[in-house]
Amino acid sequence: VIPTIDLEEANDQILNQNIRQASEKWGCFTVINHGVSLSLMAEMKKTVRDLHERPHEMKVRNTDVLLGSGYKPLSELNPFYESFGLFDMASPQAVNNFCDQLDASADQREIMLKYAKATDDLARNLARRLAESYGVVEQHFFRGWPSHFRMNKYHFKPETVGKLGVKLHTDPGFLTILQGDEDVGGLEAIDNSSGSFFPIHTLPNTLLVNLGDMATIWSNGRLCNVKHRVQCIEAKMRITIATFLLGPVDRDLEAPDEFVDAEHPRLYKP
């Protein structure tokens, strides 16, 4: 149901409006011709799968930079979800540090660096297009905002079918780029207009874009922070990779004046 947007659409205005409409109505959409090559996506998937095979003692070296930003092991609270976390993925030094901790090979390191840059660039490009679509003068409003990388592995088993791998939430940041799992579904989002869940399927060579809480605040309530969750629907291992463009680190986010008028009073006051 959610729109698929071709980022090679030649007319910038049409493209920006498509992004804006999908972001307002659904808070999520898939993109094609997004500039992250099919081979890089596949190599990154394989790298994440391989890094998850590392021994537990090595995985726990992926420690927090900010609270909750590092490795999340399988736990009592969530016995079938584990995830690596890399704070500030736009910094090659942070990516290299992560690779050191996990003894990544030279090839894996190169893939991580390339993929982190490509998806972070894509997230920022989409944020800039949103600003352009509303005529916001400060188009690079996200300058200096960090991005966070999450590499998820779901250990779905016959006994976990019907259970939640990730509970219902909105992403706290501005915008998320997700490389889903083409083989194993389970991601579901809420349709804002009906309140019902719908499944999000992953097609090869596509990426999913989600808008988060920061986008709703920045747009003074116009952009939808889509609610989503992951349900175990079959007993198979599932791997997904998320790039979160977060928000400002040194101040509260305020909607630019372009979003505020008599009909749209300021909703969020820092």
Task: Give the interface with ligand AKG as residue ranges (CB under 6 A).
Answer: 150, 152, 166, 171, 178, 180, 187, 228, 230, 240, 242
Q: Decide whether 155 or 266 has the Cβ nearer to ligand AKG.
A: 155
Count of positions (residues) in the chain: 270
Instruction: Rank residues 7 and 166 by Cβ distance to ligand AKG and give the closer one.
Output: 166
| C-alpha pair distances (Å), 89 with each of 22, 39, 148 | 26, 20, 6
Give the shortest CB-212-to-ligand AKG separation in angstroms. Answer: 9
Q: Which tokens hold the place of 210?
A: 């989600």
3-state DSSP call for residue 154? strand
Compute, in degrees rounded to 10, the torsion defined by CA atoms 191, 195, 199, 200.
20
What residue number has its CB nearest to ligand AKG?
240
Q: In which element (H, E) is residue 109 found?
A: helix 106-133
Query: At a CB cut-off of 8 Å and minimum separation 6, what does 78 contact?
Result: 72, 165
In the complex with ligand AKG, which residue's Cβ is closer, 15 or 207?
A: 207
Buried b (16+ CB within 10 A) or exposed e, 156-185: beeebeeebbbeeebbebbbbbbbbbeebb
**Which of 98/244 has CB closer to ligand AKG?**
244
Asked whether 260 and 158 are in contact (CB, 8 A), the reply is no
The tokens for 7 are: 């980022």
Rounded to a whole number of angstroms, the minimum distance from the CB of residue 138 to ligand AKG is 27
Could you tell me the smallest distance in angstroms from the CB atom of residue 241 to ligand AKG?
9
E strand or H helix that includes residue 99: helix 92-101
Measured from the CB atom, the residue of 16 and 212 that comes closer to ligand AKG is 212
Question: Least distance from C-beta 81 to ligand AKG, angstroms?
Answer: 9
For residue 242, the minimal CB distance to ligand AKG (Å) is 4
Both structure tokens of 64: 């927090």
Nearer to ligand AKG, 216 or 220 (CB): 216
User: How buried is 71 (Cβ within 10 angstroms: 0-12 exposed, 13-18 middle, 19+ buried)?
Assistant: buried
In angstroms, what is the minimal distance from the CB of 229 to ligand AKG?
7
Min dist CB 173 to ligand AKG, Å, is 10
Smaller CB separation from ligand AKG, 65 or 166: 166
Question: Are 91 and 249 a contacting pair, CB within 8 Å?
Answer: no
Specify whether the CB–CB gap between 225 and 212 falls below 8 A. Answer: yes
